[in-house]
Amino acid sequence: MKIYPFFLLLISTTQLFSQDLKPTLTQALLKVVVVNDKEKPQVDQAVSFISVKDAKTYNGTTGADGKFAILVPPGQKYKVKYKVFTTVESDLLLDMPNMAGAYTMDYKITITPPKNFTLDNVFFDSGKATLRAESNKELNELAEYMSLKKTLVIEIAGHTDNVGAPEANQKLSEDRANAVKQYLVKKGIVAERIVAKGYGDSEPVADNNTASGKQQNRRTEVRVIAE
């Protein structure tokens, strides 16, 4: 999935749900509800509707009921994008009908964020817990997402390969997890919303007998504790 760093910038033009919004002859009222696969409303979920015709973007963010409403031109197709942690999903297409007169349309989106995912672009100096500059982009996007999802609590899980003593690997993984936590805290995320934990080489996901396997095992994961 591609990363769209501009996505959160669009939220500044968000039109939140309002009882005052009414459809007109030139703008249809789009009522959006966002739920997960268990029909639980998804709070503070940002969604963008991008016109295929002229690339104009219409944005909304869900409230406590998982809903928002916006006005959009009728008779157009819209790409639907929404943020999930550090990536943007964009596999949906909304076709607004070209109906006579003012009209309202209901639209439901089902989003089920992963409970566990790997930060593929977080890197450390070899054998150290020093974050490399290449990590900033993905960690900034995670911080921005957590700023939106104000009730989200996560665990940062550090993992290593099996090179070296298990005790050293355990400490290194803990230090790296704490380095990521400290970075997020500096970006304004409350420390209590982040648990940093190291697992050393105890949870490999690939064969440690190969270079590629070792690389996969040296990873930083995000695990959702509470939404």
How do residues 68-116 score in pLDDT, each as one tens digit? Answer: 999 999 999 999 999 888 888 888 999 999 998 999 999 999 998 899 9
| Token couple for 12 | 């500044």
CATH 2.60.40.2190 matches 7-110: yes
- State the pLDDT at residue 181: 98
pLDDT of 91 reads 84
172: helix, strand or coil:
helix
The radius of gyration computed from the CA coordinates of the chain, to the nearest angstrom, equals: 21
pLDDT at 89: 81
Q: Where in the chain is the domain with CATH 2.60.40.2190?
A: 7-110
User: For residues 79 and 45, what is the distance between their CA atoms, to the nearest angstrom?
Assistant: 16
| 205-223 tens-digit pLDDT | 999 999 999 999 999 999 9
Q: Which fold, 116-226? A: 60s Ribosomal Protein L30; Chain: A; (3.30.1330)
Helix extents (H) in the chain: 136-148, 166-186, 211-217
pTM of the model: 0.79
User: Please, where in the chain does CATH 3.30.1330.60 lie?
Assistant: 116-226
